[in-house]
Structure 1
Amino acid sequence: MPEIKQLNENLKRQAALYKELKDYAQIKQQALLRNDLHEIEATTIREEQLLLEASRLEKERLLWAERVAQHIGKAPENITLRELAERFPELSDVKKELENVLMNLKEVNELNNQLLKQAMKVIDLTLSIMTAQPSGSTYNRPGEKERESKTVHFLDRSI
């Protein structure tokens, strides 16, 4: 059946693309650890390009899946890759590959998310330290009232 062959090719291209996304996510992870903003930005731009291609491939996959679903007499939204791989053994290799690549990509992205959250906490802490209000003077002569002092801030939070 030509639709299965086309679907298989589409899924192979998607698996390769997701592997490339995983590789870029690992590069971004190392850049996050080094705090290399230039590398993070360059990697993010490439990831966005790959995600656009993934979206295009996904639309194509949906068309092939719809044709296959018509052929086997099922609604396209009710058909799964697992079911197709059972029915068409030539899809089983790409199914395993996709599952593996997507699981690895998810793990790397979750770690990157944690690294970004930690970086944001450090930034928030640094900003709060730099913009903290002093709690009054440290020394007053006996009998003198505490003078109001103008507070000096390193950063103005209103910016």
Structure 2
Amino acid sequence: MPEILQSFNENLRRQVKVYEDLNVLERNKQKALLKNNLQEIESITAREEQLLLEAGRLEKERLMWAEHIGRDLGKEPQDLTLAELAEHFPILQEVSHDLDKVVGDLQEIHEINTQLLQQAMKVVEFTVSMLTHQEKNTYQHPSVKENEESRKLHLLDRRI
């Protein structure tokens, strides 16, 4: 059992490292979002994709170790929580705390970035709406009579 616990602990430590790296990227993405630096956002997103693949691989490995530990404890792996395991095995307490903290931090910054992206999308939607659905001509020669068609200015023709 100690060998399995050591492997499980090491897996969780690698996951903490991946999530810390994701956290740094999310903070960098936030700066890029504020600067509206699309190339940097794209670059960060590509690096995040790689880290998420690694996190998925580590999670599969963690489930394998949890299955071994669950058999020894007489529980199904999906019924085991890290907090419960940390109570049974003190070796896991530190990594459990670290994982909770880094995931909480990541969740916070991700929520802020989500809000920033939603605001940016609202600006884009508003701009497109203004370009395609403006209700009145801004500039018009006084001799031109207004009719229904001349009241609408469409910089982009939606029919195309």
Q: TM-score, normalised by structure 2?
A: 0.89
Q: Is the 8 A contact 1:24 1:47 kept in 2?
A: yes
Deviations 1:58-106 (A, max 9, x none): 0000000000111111111111101110000000000000000000000
Q: Is the 8 A contact 2:136 2:153 kept in 1?
A: no
Deviations 1:17-53 (A, max 9, x none): 0000010000000000000000000000000000000
Moved over 4 A (4+): 136-141, 144-152
**Counterpart position of 1:31:** 32
Q: Percent sequence identity over matched residues?
A: 49
**Counterpart position of 2:83:** 82
User: Alpha carbon RMSD of aligned pairs, Å?
Assistant: 2.2
Classify 1:145/1:29 alpha carbon distance in 2 versus 1 (closer, same or farther; 3 Å).
closer
Query: In 1, Cα distance between the equivalents of 2:109 and 2:158?
Result: 34
Q: How does 1:94-133 map to 2 (within 5 A)?
A: 94-133=95-134
Q: Is the 8 A contact 2:32 2:38 kept in 1?
A: yes
**Counterpart position of 2:43:** 42
**Counterpart position of 2:71:** 70
Query: In 1, Cα distance between the equivalents of 2:50 and 2:159?
Result: 35
Count of residue correspondences: 157
**Counterpart position of 1:57:** 58
Q: TM-score, normalised by structure 1?
A: 0.90
Quote how far apart the aligned CAs of 1:149 are. Answer: 4.5
Query: In 2, Cα distance between the equivalents of 1:153 and 1:115?
Result: 29
Classify 1:97/1:154 alpha carbon distance in 2 versus 1 (closer, same or farther; 3 Å).
same
Quick one: which amino acid aligns to residue 127 of structure 2?
T
Query: In 2, Cα distance between the equivalents of 1:60 and 1:5?
Result: 13
Classify 1:65/1:130 alpha carbon distance in 2 versus 1 (closer, same or farther; 3 Å).
same
Quick one: which amino acid aligns to residue 64 of structure 2?
L
**Higher mean Cα deviation, 65-74 or 105-114?**
65-74
Query: In 1, Cα distance between the equivalents of 2:141 and 2:44?
Result: 53
Q: Secondary structure at the match of 2:75?
A: coil
Classify 1:156/1:82 alpha carbon distance in 2 versus 1 (closer, same or farther; 3 Å).
same
Query: In 2, Cα distance between the equivalents of 1:8 and 1:51?
Result: 20
Classify 1:158/1:89 alpha carbon distance in 2 versus 1 (closer, same or farther; 3 Å).
farther
